[in-house]
């Protein structure tokens, strides 16, 4: 194994970058801002996708696929939307290359200029609502509940693997409803689906809340979000669900006839999570030795390493371990036996530690003779020697225990790093010294929000859905506030 990782305390940002590299999750490509998601990283994303896709289908959604390209004029149809996305998009202007006449290579063929430029989708509301216009005629066509798994492009100047990349993978749900109420319920339902996924699978506690106006999706009437706390105390927006009102229906003239034949604009939602979740997963649990994965999302849940001097010992141990492997697989536990003769056990231990495999088994000749096996857990870095007989049940329980432990540990961390503050002086001090989430009163204006951001770099992460009703006074303006909101520095 190569040298140790930079520790979180030394340099959190460097630790993250090194970890993503060493755990073989992703790397920068030569194309500015675009990443390569490597097989091990992609395997984690695939597990996330599978779970989420199942949850979308359970809640009545179907998948479909819409074009990568959006005509430039479509983006402009919704005024706020174009303001939000025009500044960061990839523009296709030509459709052919040709050989340069001077033999210097291929050049863009000037004769192949598009009449109207195409935008590589930064999000698909416009192209999708342009289709919905033809799909929706009557109340019988509603609700329309569609999701798409796709790549999107937002031109970013400063990028970080998974957290902010020019191209990223995501899902975007786009639904159409007959009533405002039903659309709001859908928006809330999908926020809840994301929250359950974050907590039950990623073992990452989140706060559900509403965005302030300035942080809303461009084109939304209301943005719901889930916000998580990373180990450096910064917030990470892990998913959003937008109530779009009738904005896109009006922009694309999408009306439906109700039971009485009256024609009304349709109500809309959209919601998405992306490969950014990978960044959140990494930063929630991992430690200075490398990645720590919750068992439910680990591509390899259990790895077994034989320790031997002779080929005969290897053979004996292998038989035992493969027999155990079969039992584990029959329980739906993913298992890898690493008997690669080119690598020493110590190297392998470090390798699977770096990659966050939740449970590591090791068996040497003495264990074999005594009917024992060593079981190490990645989350707490503890190990035990246990009876080989019945170890499969022990492991099954241990995986559940690790999953629970990671969530509990993260909940505890968040609690320890969340505080209420009442004066702006204290706020500035605490935001600088402690970081984390600060619950404070705010008067609800963008001016105050801007001022706080400019002076402290902290933003309003959300107005928590479950905040307690508590009248107070805005810490900056002294005006009335109806409850505390969450401030934090954010990714």
Helices 276-285/391-416 angle, 10° precision: 90
Asked whether the beta carbons of 328 and 335 are under 8 A apart, the reply is yes
β-pairing verdict for 372-377 and 359-363: antiparallel
3-class state of residue 184 by DSSP: helix
Hey, what are 364's tokens? Answer: 């040497």
Phi-psi domain of 432 (left: phi exceeds 0; alpha: psi -120 through 50; beta: other): alpha
How does 452-466 read in b/e, with b if 16+ C-beta sit within 10 Å? beeebebbbbbbbee
CB of 447 to a copy of itself, least distance (A): 25
Cβ-based nearer residue to a copy of itself, 24 or 434:
24
Of 153 and 183, nearer to a copy of itself (C-beta) is: 153
Closest separation between CB of residue 134 and a copy of itself, Å?
8
**Alpha helix locations (H) across 297-376?**
311-330, 345-354, 365-370
| Min dist. Cβ of residue 78 to a copy of itself (A) | 12
- Side-chain-side CA neighbours of 467 within 13 Å: the count stands at 20
Q: Of the two residues 34 and 314, which places its CB atom closer to a copy of itself in the complex? A: 34
* Residue 136 and residue 249 in contact, taking contact as beta carbons nearer than 8 Å: no
Which of 1, 43, 322, 490 touches a copy of itself by CB under 8 A? 43
Residue 187 makes CB contacts below 8 A (sequence gap 6+) with 222, 224, 241, 242, 243, 269, 271
Angstrom CA distances, 278 to 180, 228, 320, 340, 385, stand at 33, 13, 35, 29, 33
Comparison of 63 and 214: residue with beta carbon closer to a copy of itself: 63
Query: Quick check: 413 binds a copy of itself (CB under 8 A)?
Result: no
> Are 484 and 441 spatial neighbours (Cβ–Cβ below 8 Å)?
yes
Least distance to a copy of itself, CB of residue 218, Å? 13
User: For a copy of itself, what does the binding mask look like between residues 7 and 36, x meaning CB under 8 A?
Assistant: --------------------x-xxx--xxx
Range in contact with a copy of itself (rule: CB under 8 A) among 115-123, 179-187, 349-357, 454-462: 115-123
Task: Please pick, from the candidates 48, 127, 184, 462, the single residue that binds a copy of itself as defined by CB under 8 A.
Answer: 127
> Minimum distance between the CB of residue 212 and a copy of itself, rounded to whole angstroms?
25
Q: Which residues 44-103 are close enough to bind a copy of itself by CB under 8 A?
A: 46, 62-76, 82, 86-99
Comparison of 70 and 460: residue with beta carbon closer to a copy of itself: 70
Query: Which position among 5, 48, 52, 118 is part of the footprint of a copy of itself (CB under 8 A)?
Result: 118
The answer to the question of residue 253 lying near a copy of itself (CB under 8 A) is: no
Under the binding rule (CB under 8 A), the answer on residue 342 touching a copy of itself is: yes
Whichever of 163 and 226 has its CB closer to a copy of itself, that residue is 163
Q: Tell me phi and psi for residue 210, to 5 degrees.
A: -105, 145
Radius of gyration over alpha carbons of the chain, in Å?
Answer: 26
Residue whose CB is less far from a copy of itself, 79 or 429: 79
Q: Can you give the binding site for a copy of itself, defined by CB under 8 A? A: 27, 29-31, 34-39, 42-43, 46, 62-76, 82, 86-99, 105-106, 108, 117-120, 127, 130-131, 140, 146, 150-151, 153, 155, 167, 169, 342
């Amino acid at each position: 194994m190569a040298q140790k990782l930079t520790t979180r305390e030394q340099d959190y940002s460097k630790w993250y970058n090194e970890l993503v590299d060493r755990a073989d999750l992703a790397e920068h490509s030569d194309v500015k801002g675009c990443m390569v998601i490597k097989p091990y990283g992609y395997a984690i994303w695939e597990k996330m996708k599978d779970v989420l896709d199942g949850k979308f289908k359970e809640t009545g959604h179907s998948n479909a696929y819409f074009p990568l390209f959006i005509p430039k004029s479509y983006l402009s149809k919704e005024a706020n939307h174009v303001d939000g996305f025009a500044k960061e998009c990839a523009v296709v202007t030509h459709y052919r290359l040709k050989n340069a006449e001077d033999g210097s290579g291929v050049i863009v063929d000037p004769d192949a200029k598009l009449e109207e430029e195409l935008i590589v989708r930064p999000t698909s509301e416009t192209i999708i609502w342009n289709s919905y216009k033809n799909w929706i005629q009557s109340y019988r066509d509603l609700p329309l509940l569609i999701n798409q798994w796709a790549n999107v492009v937002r031109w970013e100047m400063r990028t970080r693997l998974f957290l902010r990349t020019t191209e990223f993978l995501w899902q975007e749900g786009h639904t159409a409803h007959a009533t405002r109420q039903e659309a709001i319920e859908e928006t809330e339902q999908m926020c809840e689906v994301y929250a359950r996924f974050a907590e039950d699978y990623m073992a990452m506690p989140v706060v559900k809340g509403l965005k302030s106006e300035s942080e809303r999706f461009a084109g939304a009437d209301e943005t719901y979000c889930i916000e998580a706390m990373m180990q450096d105390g910064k917030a990470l927006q892990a998913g959003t669900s937008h109530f779009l009102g009738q904005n896109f229906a009006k922009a694309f003239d999408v009306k439906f006839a109700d039971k009485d034949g009256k024609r009304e604009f349709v109500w809309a939602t959209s919601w998405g999570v992306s490969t950014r979740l990978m960044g959140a997963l990494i930063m929630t649990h991992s430690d200075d030795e490398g990645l720590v994965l919750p068992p439910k999302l680990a591509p390899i849940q259990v790895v077994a390493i034989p320790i031997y001097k002779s080929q005969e010992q290897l053979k004996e141990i292998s038989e035992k371990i493969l027999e155990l492997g079969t039992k584990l697989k029959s329980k739906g536990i993913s298992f890898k036996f690493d008997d690669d003769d080119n690598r020493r056990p110590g190297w392998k231990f470090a390798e699977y530690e770096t990659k966050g495999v939740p449970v590591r088994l090791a068996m040497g000749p003495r264990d074999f003779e005594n009917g024992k096996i060593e079981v190490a857990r990645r989350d707490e870095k503890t190990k035990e020697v246990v009876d080989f007989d019945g170890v499969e049940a022990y492991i099954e329980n241990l995986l559940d225990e690790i999953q629970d432990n990671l969530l509990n540990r993260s909940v505890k961390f968040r609690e320890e790093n969340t505080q209420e503050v009442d004066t702006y002086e204290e706020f500035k001090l605490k935001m600088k010294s402690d970081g984390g989430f600060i619950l404070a009163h705010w008067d609800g204006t963008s001016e105050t929000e801007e001022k706080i951001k400019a002076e402290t770099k902290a933003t309003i992460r959300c107005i928590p859905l479950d905040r307690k009703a508590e009248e107070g006074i805005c810490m900056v303006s002294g005006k009335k506030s109806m409850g505390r909101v969450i401030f934090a520095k954010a990714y």
